[in-house]
Amino acid sequence: MSALPRFGRRPLLAAAAMLCLQTRPAGAVSAALSLQQMVDRWAGGQPVREGKVRLQIAELVENGNAVPITVRVDSPMSATDRVEEIIVFNEHNPQRDVLRASFGPSSGRAEISTRIRLATSQQLVALARLADGSQWSHRVEVIVTLAACIEG
């Protein structure tokens, strides 16, 4: 009977990291869809109204490699009036959904901040779904002078 090779912890962690890096998120959206089609698909045929959501991002971005964004939703985050999901779609990146966040009943406020990559100047839309089923949005145009995410 032959012994199976023993792997140390580092090679195992490195292999796991490579698997994670090579997979796409389950919710990744096709680059073939327009921005409006992505919004319509997410909304599932329900109306999406302007308001309640605020996407904060610089209108002029020097470098698209690490662009800070913050999304806030006006909600008391009570048991009956709370945000369930925030998502941000973009117009021209290879991966069109750049942010997805879910909020539970014990979330203190509906706000998330992160950094994203932007391939080029484009429109972004932040969407929020509330527990009452209403859906809200905010669109912004961003000019990027040094692009990121360009597949060559």
CATH number (domain holding residue 74): 2.60.40.2470
With respect to residue 116, please indicate whether it lies within any of the assigned structural domains.
yes
Burial of 137: CB neighbours in 10 Å, binned 0-12, 13-18, 19+: buried
Per the CB < 8 A criterion, the answer to whether 128 and 119 are in contact is: no
Overall pTM surpassing 0.85 (yes/no): no
Q: Decide if 104 is inside a domain.
A: yes
Q: Does residue 8 lie in a domain region? A: no
Domain count, the chain: 1
Q: pLDDT (tens digit, 9 = 90+) per residue, 71-105?
A: 999 999 998 899 999 999 999 988 899 999 999 88
* Domain residue limits at 56: 31-146
Identify whether 17 is part of a domain.
no
Asked whether residue 21 is domain-assigned, the answer is no
**Residue 64 belongs to some domain of the structure:** yes
